[in-house]
Amino acid sequence: MKRLAALMTSAALLATQTGLAQMGAPGERPTALSAAPGPLAAKYKANADKILAAALADEEGYAHLAYLTDHIGKRLSGTPQLNTAIAWGAGLMKQAGLQNVQVQPVMVPRWVRGNESATITYKGEAGTIVKPLHMLGLGMSVGTPKGGITAPAVFVHDFAELDKFPDSEVKGKIVVFNPGWHGYGIGSMYRTGGPSRAGAKGAAAVLVRSATGLAMQIPHTGTLRYVEGQPKVPSAAISVEDALLIERLAKEGPVQVHLEMDAHMEPDVKAGNVIGEIPGSEHPEQVVVLGGHIDSWDVGQGAQDDGSGIMATFEAVSLIHKLGLKPKRTIRIVFWVNEENGGAGGRAYRQWIGDKIGDQVAAIEMDGGAEKPLGIGYGGFGGSRRPAPPAPGVATPSAARPSFDESSLPPDEKQSFTTMRDIVSLLGAIGTDTVSPGGGGSDIAPIVADGVPALSPRTVAEHYFDWHHTEADTLDKVDPDSFKRNTAMLAVVAYVLADMDGRLAGRKGDLHE
């Protein structure tokens, strides 16, 4: 008890010294509502303080992340490294004393990058430029014919510009997209949908500016989605600088591109979701599930995306168990598989739940990195009444997006939002006592669509998309203190949701952020 009191004192002192109790977030972020202490805060304050102190003193979570990233490394679906990570994760859960540990079998795709390169050639009055490009093939892309493709570039900023070209002016050429940087939602739209849009007009291949605002000659990979019935064309991401260079040169004269990619698909491989639990003391059939995805891209170490997510959520559950806290409901940790290029893990989990979906009390996914946390996003309200996403290739301007109006919510959703403010008020000592609209993740989307309330951490998100899907996604990018604070926040929220008498409201239908 003396050690616990000392840890609690040091936790409060650390929060004061770092100014996190008054922490704000630079730049644009979702509307965050201040915490309002209420009955739940009073009931759970003592246990919440124990959790916060233990989390801020914990060293094991970051050590586990270091092992995962440095010794297992990148974990693309279908690779031996992924299955090594899966076996290690199951062992870790057993070692922590979690119960019902299992690996739920899931078949995952096996996409192989192979050798790849791209070069541009420009011949103009000022001379000739031949330059290799900084590139990464997009996940699930087909490869080029042996010897590659050499073709003129057609430069466009967006889909509207592409559509203005007659098909005859695109056929057989390589389309280069540079939509600029207007956030990941728009940037990734050109990566996922650009290949089929260009292929439908007869393009031979596609290059797309990486979905990032950072210009450091670092290409960002990510998955594409071929539209059924449209040609599948080889596609790659290029660095911001190279996209801008092609744009400048294209204004002066023709730019030729040579692209070689050995990318190809192999037969699916058996992998699995890793699952462990703290069984509920009164309602073990009711479940609060949290986790992240264990797979990563085949570049970097998958440290922020999503090693930090699975290790922070695991450590949150492990700390609850270590402290001897026994919530009324079951707390389940899941390392979902194949989030990056298929989503098979999330779909398999939904199938596994079956007709017991009503017993899924809440779902928390951490898949936005472990930067300095601000609070929790809650997406259980609104359901199918929230606006659907724009049609492929159509961006929704920020000004056109409806603002969040808590007063317009139905009574049960309004009460749930009040409950969440009460819960996060317990997190003032670490500066994460806000709740904002929106929350969820790709892996929990299948159960959220069936009415399970969705939550996810909100961070300052200052650099996540600088490292995301690149060789730079390595352990050194994860700050240990921020990692601990994410762990602390997750542990408190998960514990209270699993133990409180009521439950949050959810709505059937897609929850679009």
CATH of the domain at 202: 3.50.30.30
Q: Is residue 396 part of a domain?
A: no
Per-residue pLDDT of the chain (513 residues; tens, 9 = 90+): 333 333 333 333 333 222 322 223 333 445 565 556 788 999 999 999 999 999 999 999 999 999 999 999 999 999 999 999 999 999 999 999 999 999 999 999 999 999 999 999 999 888 999 999 999 999 999 999 999 999 999 999 999 999 999 999 999 999 999 999 999 999 999 999 999 999 999 999 999 999 999 999 999 999 999 999 999 999 999 999 999 999 999 999 999 999 999 999 999 999 999 999 999 999 999 999 999 999 999 999 999 999 999 999 999 999 999 999 999 999 999 999 999 999 999 999 999 999 999 999 999 999 999 999 999 999 854 333 333 333 333 333 333 344 667 778 888 888 999 999 999 999 999 999 999 988 899 999 999 999 999 999 999 999 999 999 999 999 999 999 999 999 999 999 999 999 999 999 988 874 433
345 plus 288 within the same structural domain: yes
C-alpha–C-alpha distance, residues 244 and 233, integer Å:
22
Residue 192 CB contacts under 8 Å (≥ 6 apart), including other chains: 222, 223, 224, 225
277 plus 417 within the same structural domain: yes
Q: Is 21 left (phi over 0), alpha (psi -120 to 50) or beta?
A: alpha
C-alpha–C-alpha distance, residues 187 and 207, integer Å:
13
Q: Is the bond leading into 306 cis (omega within 30 degrees of zero)?
A: yes
C-alpha–C-alpha distance, residues 297 and 306, integer Å:
10
pLDDT at 379: 85
Parallel, antiparallel, or unpaired for β 174-177 and 149-156? parallel
Tokens of 203: 């393009």
Q: Is residue 320 part of a domain?
A: yes
Q: What is the CA radius of gyration of the chain?
A: 24
325 plus 461 within the same structural domain: yes
Out of 202, 227, 262, pick the residue that ends a domain: 262
What pTM, to 2 d.p., does this model score? Answer: 0.89
C-alpha–C-alpha distance, residues 292 and 303, integer Å:
12
Domain that holds residue 414: 2-12+33-110+267-387+410-499
Please give the biggest Cα pair distance in the chain: 79
Number of Cβ atoms within 10 Å of the Cβ of 226? 18
Sign of CA dihedral 362, 368, 370, 371: negative
Number of independent structural domains in the chain: 2
288 plus 165 within the same structural domain: no
461 plus 370 within the same structural domain: yes
pLDDT at 37: 73
Give the bridge partners for 258, in sequence order: 119, 150
Q: Which residues are catalytic?
A: 339
DSSP state of 389: P
121 plus 143 within the same structural domain: yes
253 plus 272 within the same structural domain: no
Buried b vs exposed e over 125-149: b needs ≥16 C-beta within 10 Å? eeeeeeeebbbbbbbbbbbbeeebb
C-alpha–C-alpha distance, residues 425 and 322, integer Å:
23
Q: Is residue 504 part of a domain?
A: no
Tokens of 56: 């801020």
List of long-range contacts for 127-130, beta carbons under 8 Å, 24+ apart: 129/249
297 plus 217 within the same structural domain: no
Give the bridge partners for 457, in sequence order: 376
Out of 262, 282, 307, pick the residue that ends a domain: 262
Give the chain's end-to-end CA distance (angstroms, integer).
43
Q: Is residue 139 part of a domain?
A: yes
C-alpha–C-alpha distance, residues 107 and 348, integer Å:
9
C-alpha–C-alpha distance, residues 419 and 361, integer Å:
14
Number of Cβ atoms within 10 Å of the Cβ of 404? 16
Q: Is residue 127 part of a domain?
A: yes
C-alpha–C-alpha distance, residues 501 and 327, integer Å:
11
193 plus 77 within the same structural domain: no
Q: Is residue 22 part of a domain?
A: no
CATH of the domain at 56: 3.40.630.10
275 plus 287 within the same structural domain: yes
By three-state DSSP, how is residue 116 classified? Answer: strand
DSSP state of 504: -
At 457-476, the pLDDT tens digits run: 999 999 999 999 999 999 99
At 161-203, the pLDDT tens digits run: 999 999 999 999 999 999 999 999 999 999 999 999 999 999 9
99 plus 156 within the same structural domain: no
203 plus 309 within the same structural domain: no
pLDDT at 458: 96
Out of 233, 262, 291, pick the residue that ends a domain: 262
